[in-house]
Amino acid sequence: MKRSIKWFPILLLLFVLSGCQEETTPKDVIRMVRAVQVSDPTEFANRSFPGQAKATQEVDLSFRVAGPLIAFPVNVGDQVPKGQELAKIDPRDFEVELRNVQGQLDGEIAVLKRAEADYKRVTNIKKKDPGAVSQAMIDSRRQLVESTRAAIRSLRAAVASARDKLSYTYLKAPFDGIITATYAENYEDVKAKQPIVRLIDHSQIEMIVNLPESMISHADYLKTSGKVLRVRFDPFPDREIEAQIKEIGKEASKTTRTYPVTLVMDQPEDIKILPGMAGNASSTAPPAGMQDQPDMVIPETAIFSPGDNKTYVWIIDETSKNVNKREVKTGKLLSSGITVLEGIKPGEWIATAGVHFLKEGQQVRIMSSTVEEVAK
């Protein structure tokens, strides 16, 4: 009887521990996943993307030295060619500095000529009559030659610096452009690196539009197809301008999940597109080659291989939000993703991040694309 009483606390403890273990067994959780809906290249037809015009080159010009302005011949709206003088600082102090260091350099060159002649003379005497001059005298003459040469190197650098400073008193246009702003007045004392004038290159216009994740994969085809996009700016609704893709952004916005794509177009001759003008870019039809392109392009991060020499993606069921592994056949790798030859079709949702942590049949929740959707 006593022996059974001794075993009772141990059995009770084991029962409590087993109950706790059952209660702490982790349940399957709904995993948040980044996903994208596979799109058809023909979706570009009749879609428009808003954007804003900007100059291909725009710069605030400033002097690299300080001083009073004595010439400021340009005004806002002036068109200037490359190399035209835009502003000028009083150069007299810099001219004086250049003359001073140039004079010092000329003096040291004269000293060097005398020192070299003197050194040559004493060495010749030493050869003819070794006892006529001491070795210390020869060493002294050689040292003078070397020190004078060093001084000349330093002065030549000072002359080059003074000449550069003098050239910095002239502010010139680095490219053909138009003056859009001035930040100083003539006869004003300006500081080094103080903005003086703003110049933009208006020969070409850029426009940044944002493509959704589902369509950015096709941007490579648009880029290589040339001027397949058309842009209409709000001030000129009846004027259509040909544009092409210049650059494709590689990182999506954290709030909208869209990618920035830069378009470029030539400045029309009959109208003037200015930076800041709003407009819309569109394609009335898929570009040649893209229309007949059956391959889907998806983010490379959506592809995974569990070790059976096959390639898969996770398909997300729109109703149940469960994921299912599906084998796909991939093609070539593009800068915007990887082509899929077989296995998926437009409209299906696929997981694009964390694919190695999902499991068959797991329920997921697609991360919202916008702040508004998250709020819902």
What is the average pLDDT across 175-200?
94
Mean pLDDT of the chain: 83
CA-to-CA dists, residue 57 to 198, 202, 205, 282, 339, angstroms: 11, 8, 9, 24, 35
CA distance 208 to 278: 10
Note the pLDDT tens digit of each residue in 90-129.
999 999 999 999 999 999 999 999 999 999 999 998 888 8
pLDDT at residue 33, rounded to an integer: 84
**Domain 31-40+294-375 indexed as CATH 3.30.70.270:** no
Share of the chain above pLDDT 90, in %: 43
Q: What residue has token string 């093609």? A: 331
**Domain 41-56+202-283 indexed as CATH 1.10.1740.10:** no
Structure tokens at 336: 């915007």
Whole-prediction pTM value? 0.59
Alpha helix positions (H), 50-180: 92-128, 135-167
CA distance 352 to 185: 56
What is the average pLDDT across 199-221?
81
CA distance 34 to 355: 9
Reported confidence tier of residue 372, pLDDT bands at 50, 70, 90: very low
Share of the chain above pLDDT 70, in %: 83
pLDDT at residue 369, rounded to an integer: 47
At 202 the three-state DSSP class reads strand
Residue 342 scores a pLDDT above 90: no
Structure tokens at 248: 């494709």
Residue 286 scores a pLDDT above 80: no
Give me the residues paired with residue 204 across strands. Answer: 266
CA-to-CA dists, residue 2 to 12, 153, 179, 182, angstroms: 16, 107, 104, 102
- Structural domain spans, the chain: 31-40+294-375, 41-56+202-283, 64-88+170-198, 92-167
CA distance 172 to 63: 10
Give me the residues paired with residue 80 across strands. Answer: 177
What is the average pLDDT across 235-261?
85
pLDDT at residue 25, rounded to an integer: 43
Residue 299 scores a pLDDT above 90: no
311-335 burial: b if 16+ Cβ within 10 Å, else e: bbbbbbeeeeeebebeebebeeebe
pLDDT at residue 371, rounded to an integer: 35
Is residue 172 within 8 A of residue 86, CB to CB? The reply is: yes
What is the average pLDDT across 36-63?
81
For the domain bounded by 64-88+170-198, which CATH number is listed?
Answer: 2.40.50.100
